[in-house]
A = this chain, B = another copy of it.
């Protein structure tokens, strides 16, 4: 099987990670790194290497020896680059979020479809062994109905120059929810609150609540100002509860056979005191998971989707659903009201 030839566009914050993973993948041959700043690109490539530096995207896209690109530039530039790449016959991987606007996102999806090229989102966490396992557990019914989700993603983060903390961090939580929940991101009106206590011009702390089908609720807490790092994701189910602590390598995922069972529900308000519940305090089970770098599995999926001519696990539509939620969160922040996310097919 021949390796696929790829170029990475953007040698800034995330680009080096893509470079490293394409380089160490048996599926890929990294041909070039493209950045307006040639020195930055050269630094990422390192010495004694024949990987090429490019500074002109147009020229890069004209090369015949490149099958695919990976775009790691600021979100507002994604649409132009991705559409040009699709038109040039290249497969496209883009960093999250897909684009700045839903309109741009739709054009990117369309361009890839028109040119029969893969459009893939680097929703990195969906390629961790933990999230893959969680998705399977939910699909198998091991967790039961999803009653609540609590995701906390906080640390001392870079205050981003052009977006608030939701746009920086929540795409991770939203893409994971979209990937693992049986109903994906089909949630009700979103309520978001936030604060900018350092007066930076954008929310640096944020909380969002997403009503789930069936009466549950998902909560997302993001924060750039926290000195402690937390990556905690809890899924409370009617059968069991799953705790994913990504900073605990000995025990990233634990399934608790514990919960509340409702034996008798109240018939009406007058009877509401009559609810009868019982408590399960069962065992905890910690599945053995491989310790594999998610980006390595992500670039493997990129190659597999291209070779098999199929959409990748995290395709442009997933990217659009995440983007739609981000816009709903922003509108809720601005208006103080719950805001229903726009459906992908809405006009």
Task: List residues of chain A with CB under 8 Å of any chain B CB.
Answer: 23-24, 29-30, 46-51, 145, 147-148, 150, 154, 156, 159, 161-162, 191, 193-202, 204-205, 207, 209, 211-212, 214-217, 219, 221, 223-229, 234, 236, 238, 241, 243, 250-251, 254, 256-260, 262, 265-266, 269, 272-273, 275, 277, 279, 281-288, 336-338
A200 to B229, CA, bound (A): 35
Chain B residue numbers with a CB within 8 Å of A196 are: 215
Chain B residue numbers with a CB within 8 Å of A238 are: 197-198
Closest 4 CB pairs of A and B: A227-B258, A284-B286, A195-B217, A147-B197
- Which residue of the partner chain B has the closest CB to A279? B156
- Which residue of the partner chain B has the closest CB to A195? B217
Copies of the protein in its oligomer: 4
User: A258-B227, A269-B201 are contacts. A147–B195 as well, Cβ < 8 Å?
Assistant: yes
Q: Do the beta carbons of A260 and B225 come within 8 Å of each other? A: yes
Chain B residue numbers with a CB within 8 Å of A236 are: 205, 223, 225-227
- Which residue of the partner chain B has the closest CB to A219? B207
User: A162-B273, A193-B209, A338-B336 are contacts. A198–B49 as well, Cβ < 8 Å?
Assistant: no
Chain B residue numbers with a CB within 8 Å of A241 are: 225-228
Q: Do the beta carbons of A197 and B215 come within 8 Å of each other? A: yes
Q: Do the beta carbons of B281 and A288 come within 8 Å of each other? A: yes
Q: Do the beta carbons of B287 and A161 come within 8 Å of each other? A: no
Chain B residue numbers with a CB within 8 Å of A147 are: 195, 197-198, 205, 225
A-B contact pairs, 30 of them (CB 8 A): A29-B47, A48-B50, A48-B51, A147-B205, A156-B258, A156-B260, A159-B260, A159-B277, A162-B272, A191-B336, A193-B211, A193-B219, A195-B216, A195-B217, A196-B215, A198-B277, A199-B262, A199-B265, A200-B277, A201-B275, A205-B236, A221-B221, A226-B236, A226-B241, A228-B250, A258-B288, A282-B288, A283-B285, A284-B285, A284-B286
